[in-house]
Amino acid sequence: MRAIAWFTVFCSHLLPRDAVSIPVPGWAKAVWVAAVPAGTYGVTLFFVLSSFLITSLLLDEQARTGVIDIRAFYVRRVLRIWPLYFAILALGTLISPLVTPSVPVTGQVLFRYVTFTGNLAAVAGAAAPISIGILWSVCVEEQFYLCWPWVLRIFRGRAMVAACLAMIGMGALVRYQMTAHSSHFVWGHSLTHLDCFALGALVALWVRRSPASPTRATPMLILLGLLGLPLAEHVLHLRMPGQHTTTPWEATAYFVMAALCALVVWQAALLKGGLLCNGLLTGLGKRTYGLYCFHGLVLSIAWHFLDRWHFWPVAAPALAGTLGLAFLSYRFYEMPFLRLKRRFQKVESGGA
């Protein structure tokens, strides 16, 4: 599922939204124009999925040991996130003046990303090159990781469900209150994604309390949820994050996208085997963090040296370069940190 989420984001960044430049038949171009913006919501799927996985692991730890070891949790997150994050930040800062000179890495932007508040750079009106700009969602997740184990420690049972419902309401309310701002402002703010994390946690609670086996409808529901993203984006008239002002309708309708992602995660959690658990997707899933972090850097280089508006000359090397760097990074750079991370595991993480 992580691999699918990454690929949707990759496509939304890689492929031009100007259908004229895509070498496919006319009917396919029309479909593409409707579908590409929905790839942005791969980030929403990431948020829901991350919350589901982390909540499940922490609840398992709490059930097995009686308490959540917050210090060990923080150490695990640092060892998984920080090494590659800061490597990409350094590489992006060094390379961006050469490949994206029109969008410099200012001191303000660099400070934001070093302190894991890079998502607030857009809120403050400071643009970042894509080589490091894609790390904004990692910043949001790190802020979530900072707070979430404390929430699970404090709230139990029905109180936890109530807390999640309150987060859903708060996320929707914050988005509604920000409708006078640009959608970049709304999309980048930490609090506007509260409902994504709350839905992921609710799925974890539901799966834990009401374990069920997959049915014949499970694969269809997963497909329905994934295909529902571009359909809902088109029907609800949602737009890609940009300088346009977010409407009250868009602020409310974003929840529909998060709910569809929650449906996908819920049904995928029921599958213990099958298509989503095959070797290819499992291998890609373990390397999704690297795939996500490297793709902005690779795209910025590909766009600089190749013609951005001709699809195939950019698509093939960008995909190959991202895959190659992610696999090399996982094997030779991330793996030593992952081995160290295992010393602090309380339950089997499955790569989370």
**Residue 228 predicted with pLDDT over 80:** yes
pTM for this one?
Answer: 0.91
pLDDT, residue 308, reads: 60
* Mean pLDDT value of segment 197-219: 89
**Separation CA 71–CA 117 (nearest Å):** 21
pLDDT in tens, 33-83: 666 777 788 999 999 999 999 999 999 999 999 999 999 999 999 999 999
Q: Among residues 290, 292, 186, which one has the least CA distance to residue 243? A: 186
* Mean pLDDT value of segment 151-166: 95
Q: Quick check: 291 and 322 in contact, CB under 8 A?
A: yes
pLDDT, residue 135, reads: 97
**Residue 166 predicted with pLDDT over 80:** yes
Tokens 């449906």 appear where?
A: 263
Instruction: Note the Cα 66 to chain centre separation in Å.
Output: 30
Q: Quick check: 203 and 48 in contact, CB under 8 A?
A: yes
pLDDT in tens, 95-141: 999 999 989 899 999 999 999 999 998 788 788 999 999 999 999 99
Give the three-class secondary structure for 116.
coil
pLDDT, residue 250, reads: 80
pLDDT, residue 270, reads: 86
